[in-house]
Amino acid sequence: MTDTATQPAPTRPALNKDTKLCISLAARPSNFGTRFHNYLYEQFGLDFVYKAFTTTDLAGAIGGVRALGIRGCSVSMPFKEDVIALVDELDASATAIQSVNTIVNDDGFLRAYNTDYIAAAELLRSNALDPATPFLLRGSGGMAKAVAAALRDSGFADGTIIARNERSGRALADELGYGWLAEPGTATAPLLVNVTPIGMAGGAQAAESAFTAGAVAASDTVFDVVALPAETPLILAARAAGKTVITGAEVIALQAAEQFERYTGLRPTPERVLAASAFARA
């Protein structure tokens, strides 16, 4: 159902025995999902609540989702692949990359999705990027796999995976039919994609850029999935050079909106997604 409401947000019901629970499972839980989803529950007046957890017993946690009727479960690292054996069905988005970040519980039947993949594909489409565009993608982890698979399935055939880890980098490149480089060197392409922690707040490489100034200058579009901060050194350099940018804030908000729709059956407007994202990041 599409959200077309323009009236003031209704009041969310008080917590009660029938309140539906959605959760997240991660090694290091963050506040983003909790704040994003609960903000939208309040906006829609939904009898839902969202809570973040960590676990050392994944099978027990997923068994609890099923047994307790928990409506939805967001899955983060390091559980995205191990959870596959514990669900009943994989959506095409999860099958495409053999990685799960969203579980929906329908009366004990657990269906799994990957909304990172869905969000990346939607951002490629909404930014009208030509599939004939060559790209460089830096990274080879789970999120890199989601974005690279979205590129492939969106028709982008001319790409290179850049990853220092030769084993995972070559494996991802070979699986999707792309080239591989250990380091970016002097390589350039019209589309640059960063799917590494380079530029992430608090990280050892927070002040670095995933691509050189020369690569940015030679590009047309720069896509950086780092969400905290969304204005990474790479994005700032691309904006200064007048390039089209796609930020991690867009990715995290869109994938969370996809989760919200699957849990509740309601699709928030873009304006509400932006408001929820801003609230979650504040």
What does 179-215 look like in DSSP terms, one character per residue? EEESS-TT---SEEEE-SSTT-TTSTTTT--SS-HHH
Residue 86 makes CB contacts below 8 A (sequence gap 6+) with 58, 59, 62, 63, 110
Q: What DSSP designation does 170 have?
A: H
Sign of the CA dihedral 271, 276, 279, 282?
Answer: negative
β-pair partners for 137: 161, 193
Three-state SS string across 45-77, please? CCCEEEEEECCCCHHHHHHHHHHHCCCEEEECC
Residues 6+ apart with CB under 8 A from 240: none
Question: Measured between alpha carbons, how far is 270 from 179 in angstroms, rounded to an integer?
Answer: 36
> Do you find a cis peptide bond into 233, omega within 30 degrees of 0?
no
The β-bridge partners of 53 are 25
**What amino acid positions are annotated as catalytic residues?**
80
- Neighbour tally for 106: CB within 10 Å: 10
Q: Are residues 112 and 90 in contact, defined by beta-carbon separation less than 8 angstroms?
A: yes
